């Protein structure tokens, strides 16, 4: 992160509350009073997500004071993702991918142009509890799924840490379980940057300073939950993506930059103490992680706005509350990576929700030579942007919309011979949460294996060249236009 530069205090603050007002005006907000923290908020969030419906604002949650609210369903569709990123609201899935591609490739080249700017104060500082005054159990923490091992306060949170050597600030989304008034359990996977930072402090015998925002404009969740490369600060990345500097306030205890619009902020230290955390309903759709000894955060201070809003979400059997937004993001990142690798001919990429944006990727393209489709599939399955948790890559012709499951399945059914058109890669990278992962007894997390299947569902290249693949049965564009202009009302 670049050193903070002074900026006019009156610069407008885009916050969660103004975002919520915009969702209300779109007619997509539902307010729910009186639901219980014990499974009701979680189950409603899940049922709502299956239909990609409402943004849900829970208030008067049983056992918590009125005004202590939880928000879910923040990014269930392209309209709300576009709103969050200040893009045009009527982009469809592939237009969203294209817009994100442009912004992401710009973001990587202009990281130093939009460093965060530090404000001297923020609304969250209006209520401050320090030391023995801290009580994390006052904030609404949900038991989201039936077999969860505890109540979770942080789900779509932003966990801020700093590399003690280089000063690189990272913002990651890691779940937080409430242990007691002053202790939270944090789950950070190996290779995730928050853990890398913590391990450096622990190696010196120190606890790792941490600041956490529990509610904020959802745009922070968009980048904190995606794989922004190491050594790049998510605030810089976000600034370049949005082409404006992101307002932060330095934490009084840790000196870490905290989103200025935050609703609830925790400051403390990630200690080497371990306490059981989990199981938790994971994003693959299973309780796959089990119960684990996880690091404990000792909370030193908590700050919050009046009537604070926790930005929440829940995973589970897809589609779930945050499965949609990761699809256009991962698709855009992968498409850019394919292009950067020198591949030509790609017309569309989509990472599907049932594959939790990782296990089922579809690339549509115009093959230019024999083997071009296979090359595309192999690359998409192995480039870092698509490799982790990957399983199936389907390559389709450019007349197939990669977001449309019917079209993709039809291409698989009608343009493949299974024994000829499916290639396998054995011994590829495995993901621990995958219940089918290949794992020797006692193997570490970096020893897991999973194969990949590349399905070439493009018409056979040589038959396309010779023109002997049968024509598709459908009205021509001219017929379609003529009939729709005359009879279109019948179909509305
Ligand atoms: C809602 C949500 C919850 C997540 N929970 C966790 C978690 O508990 N632990 C974890 O290691 N990663 C979790 N992730 C994934 C990480 O946030 C993601 O991989 C991110 O890139 C990590 O940031 P980092 O690369 O800066 O470490 C979650 C992602 C989302 C969107």
Whether the bond into 279 is cis, omega within 30 of 0: yes
The residues facing 367 across adjacent strands are none
CB 104 within 8 A of CB 241: yes
Q: Which atom of ligand 1 is nearest to the CA of 191?
A: 27
Output the pLDDT for position 13: 55
Quote helix, strand, coil % in the chain, to nearest 5. Answer: 30, 25, 40
Which tens digit of pLDDT belongs to each residue from 147-206? Answer: 999 999 999 999 999 999 999 999 999 999 999 999 999 999 988 999 999 999 999 999
Q: Mutation test of ligand 1: which of 192, 284, 313 has the most ligand atoms closer than 8 Å to its C-beta?
A: 192
Question: What number does the ligand 1 atom closest to the CA of 189 have?
Answer: 11
Give, in order, the Cα–Cα distances in Å from 69 to each of 87, 138, 188, 312.
27, 12, 26, 10
- Is residue 391 within 8 A of residue 450, CB to CB? The reply is yes
Residue 115 Cα to ligand 1 midpoint, Å, equals 23
Ligand 1 atom index nearest CA of 280 = 8
Q: Which atom of ligand 1 is found nearest the CA of 170?
A: 26
Q: What pLDDT does 62 receive?
A: 96
CB atoms within 10 A of CB 196: 16
Closest-CA residue to 402 (of 96, 82, 79)? 96
Atom of ligand 1 nearest to the CA of 173: 17
* Ligand 1: centre distance to CA 155 (Å): 9
Give the binding-site residues of ligand 1, using a 6 Å CB cut-off: 155-156, 170, 172-175, 187-189, 192-194, 225-228, 313, 322
Q: Which residue from 225, 233, 270, 310 has its CB within 8 A of the most atoms of ligand 1, so it is best to mutate?
A: 225
Give the burial class of 167: count Cβ atoms within 10 A of its Cβ; 0-12 exposed, 13-18 middle, 19 or more buried: exposed
Query: Measured in angstroms, how far is the CA atom of residue 354 from the centroid of ligand 1?
Result: 18
* Alpha carbon distances (Å) from 420 to 199, 250, 398, 416, 423: 48, 59, 21, 8, 8
- Which structural domains are found in the chain, ordered by start? 16-311 (2.30.110.10), 341-471 (3.40.1670.10)
Atom of ligand 1 nearest to the CA of 227: 21
pLDDT of residue 187: 97
Measured in angstroms, how far is the CA atom of residue 289 from the centroid of ligand 1? 14
C-alpha span between 328 and 97 (Å, rounded): 5
Pocket test for ligand 1, best of 172, 210, 221 (most atoms within 8 A of CB): 172
* Closest residue by Cα to residue 307 from 12, 73, 59: 59
CA of 357 to the centre of ligand 1 (A): 14
> How many of the other CB atoms lie within 10 Å of CB of 323?
25
Sign, CA dihedral 101-106-112-114, equals negative
C-alpha of residue 427 to centroid of ligand 1, in Å:
25
Q: How far is the CA of 194 from the centre of ligand 1 (A)?
A: 10
Cα distance between residue 409 and residue 396, in whole Å: 10
410 secondary structure, DSSP code: H
Give 377's contacts (C-beta < 8 A, 6+ positions apart): 363, 393, 394, 395, 423, 454, 455, 456
Q: Which of 72, 158, 168, 173 to mutate to test the pocket of ligand 1 (most atoms within 8 A of CB)?
A: 173
Low-confidence residues of the chain: pLDDT under 50 = 1-11
Are 334 and 361 spatial neighbours (Cβ–Cβ below 8 Å)? yes
């Amino acid at each position: 992160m670049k050193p903070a530069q002074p900026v006019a205090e009156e610069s407008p603050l885009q916050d969660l509350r103004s975002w919520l007002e915009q969702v209300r005006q779109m007619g997509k907000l539902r307010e729910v009073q009186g639901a219980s923290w014990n499974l009701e908020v979680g189950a409603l969030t899940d049922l709502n997500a299956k239909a990609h419906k409402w943004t849900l604002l829970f208030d008067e949650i049983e056992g918590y004071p009125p005004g202590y609210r939880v928000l879910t369903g923040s990014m269930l569709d392209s309209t709300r993702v576009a709103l969050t990123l200040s893009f045009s609201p009527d982009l469809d899935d592939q237009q969203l991918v294209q817009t994100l591609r442009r912004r992401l490739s710009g973001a990587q080249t202009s990281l130093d142009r939009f460093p965060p700017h530090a404000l001297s104060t923020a609304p969250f500082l209006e209520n401050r509890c320090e030391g023995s005054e801290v009580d994390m159990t006052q904030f609404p923490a949900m038991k989201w799924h039936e077999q969860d091992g505890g109540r979770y306060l942080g789900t779509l949170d932003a966990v801020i840490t700093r590399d003690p050597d280089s000063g690189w600030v990272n913002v990651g989304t890691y779940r937080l379980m409430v242990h007691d008034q002053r202790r939270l359990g944090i789950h950070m996977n190996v290779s995730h940057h928050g853990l890398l930072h913590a391990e450096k402090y622990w190696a010196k015998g120190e606890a790792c300073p941490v600041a956490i925002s529990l509610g904020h404009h959802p745009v922070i969740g968009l980048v904190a939950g995606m794989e922004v490369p190491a050594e790049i600060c998510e605030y810089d990345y976000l600034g370049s993506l949005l082409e404006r500097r992101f307002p932060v306030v330095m934490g009084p205890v840790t000196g870490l930059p905290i989103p200025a619009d935050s609703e609830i902020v925790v400051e403390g230290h990630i200690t080497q103490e371990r306490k059981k955390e989990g199981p938790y309903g994971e994003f693959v759709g299973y309780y796959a992680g089990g119960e684990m000894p996880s690091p404990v955060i000792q909370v030193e201070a908590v700050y919050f706005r009046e009537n604070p809003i926790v930005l929440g979400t829940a995973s589970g059997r897809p589609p779930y509350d945050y499965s949609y937004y990761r699809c256009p993001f991962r698709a855009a990142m992968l498409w850019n990576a394919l292009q950067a690798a020198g591949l030509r001919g790609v017309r569309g990429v989509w990472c599907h929700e049932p594959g939790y944006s990782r296990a089922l990727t579809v690339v549509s393209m115009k093959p230019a030579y024999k083997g071009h489709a296979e090359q595309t599939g192999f690359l998409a399955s192995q480039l870092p942007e698509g490799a982790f948790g990957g399983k199936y890559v389907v390559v389709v012709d450019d007349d197939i919309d990669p977001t449309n499951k019917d079209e993709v399945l039809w291409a698989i059914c009608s343009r493949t011979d299974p024994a000829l058109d499916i290639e396998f890669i054995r011994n590829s990278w495995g993901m621990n949460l995958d219940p089918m992962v290949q794992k020797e007894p006692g193997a570490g997390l970096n020893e897991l294996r999973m194969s990949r299947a590349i399905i070439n569902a493009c018409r056979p290249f040589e038959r396309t060249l010779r023109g002997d693949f049968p024509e598709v049965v459908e009205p021509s564009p001219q017929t379609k236009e003529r009939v729709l202009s005359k009879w279109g009302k019948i179909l509305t």
